[in-house]
Structure 1
């Protein structure tokens, strides 16, 4: 009986140790063309969300960098930026103002960072996680709803619904494992995701099941977590 238990534990350990193949997108240059369009599993009609991804970039200096952009025909609905002051900025659209909520976090670099941002409409609570570590909570756009009917793009910021991208805001580097949930994940779940555990997958955007459309020089490479 003891021997059977040992074999069972060894089998479990080997299963957990198996690396998981995943696609990663490399944006090799600053352009107004290179981007990836992401097809959601369901409309982005959001009263809460968790957005996570793995990011590496060598971009430095006083320049905005877009990580994630979701736009409807009328306006930008959900954007995640590195702002020109180096802070990480979450932007949600409302009719009254265009302010983002910004977090003073360690600078992103060539070493990959697991990055998450969470937001809940009922309280307005917003927070950032870097490699599983949570920032302070800020209150932002309480009562707001992210509206459906738009496009999700990685690597560029929409100046209009049809495109019109700006090379000075484009992403240069590598992005992978982009997932979006329509709820706020627990701190422990985000820590597990940061360490490479595969569940749960995003129920709005699922990187492993996603249909990606590549434009310009954005390239996909295969890797393992």
Structure 2
């Protein structure tokens, strides 16, 4: 019963977009983006990133980008509508075939372990077939984290045609791999240990708007 209650409560939150707050990316541009400042000083040997997004875009776009001084696609979550998502790890691109997009809030979670290369993708609590990267190099320690743009250099060189337009919320990041049970049932109630949507530092650029529900 407890598991069912948590699932129903999560679906309620997903249906109505009841995150802590919402970032609105109003237009296609190279000027609208958000910088995240994670509390991490060492290279990441594992990571999990979860976020929620809401968009009517029918073109490819960047949700979450990590660049290092050496690699501009150190980590990238890059949907390609209607039914593909590209995940980049240290310039290695892996493509996932996913269920077609619908016009609603979408929860996306990506987890990666450098020791095994295991890469996992969940969309709306559904895990897709796992992949293995050839890269075993940790990410960082120096990192630029950007929401809404794909970095072609460290912290910049954006392309408007790759920008995100829509709403985003509940971005959390961990320096370990979350369990499938956590992501599938109650990730909304567990804050990231190296970036938390509730109290993490977010720097808004351009016309991005911070909205309350």
TM-score range, shorter chain: 0.7 to 0.9
Partner of 1:91: 88
- Residue from 31, 34, 38 that aligns with 1:33: 31
- 1:181, 1:204 within 8 Å by CA — same for their partners in 2? yes
Partner of 1:13: none
The alignment status of 1:206 with 2:191, answered yes or no, reads no
Query: In angstroms, what is the RMSD of aligned CA positions?
Result: 2.2
Trace 1:56-205 onto structure 2 (pairs within 5 A): 56-60=54-58, 63-76=59-72, 77-83=74-80, 86-93=83-90, 98-193=91-186, 196=188, 198-199=189-190, 201-205=191-195
Counting matched residue pairs gives 198
Distance 1:190 1:21, change over 3 A: closer
Question: 1:132 & 1:185 partners in 2: Cα distance?
Answer: 12
Distance 1:152 1:125, change over 3 A: same
Shift of 1:29: 0.8
Question: 2:19 & 2:137 partners in 1: Cα distance?
Answer: 37
Distance 1:204 1:55, change over 3 A: same
Structure 1: segments with no counterpart, 5+ residues: 1-15
Question: 2:167 & 2:82 partners in 1: Cα distance?
Answer: 21
- 2:67, 2:155 within 8 Å by CA — same for their partners in 1? no
- 2:53, 2:106 within 8 Å by CA — same for their partners in 1? yes
Shift of 1:83: 3.4
Distance 1:162 1:178, change over 3 A: closer
TM value normalised by structure 2: 0.85
SS of structure 2 residue aligned to 1:193: helix
Higher mean C-alpha deviation, range 108-117 or range 170-179 = 108-117
- Residue from 31, 44, 47 that aligns with 1:46: 44
TM value normalised by structure 1: 0.81
Q: Could you report, residue by residue, the CA deviation over 1:118-159 in whole angstroms, capped at 9, with x for unpaired residues?
A: 111222111111111111111113522111112111011122
Partner of 1:218: 208
| Bigger-Rg structure (1/2) | 1
Write out the 4+ residue segments of structure 1 that deviate beyond 4 Å after TM superposition.
none
- 1:123, 1:142 within 8 Å by CA — same for their partners in 2? no
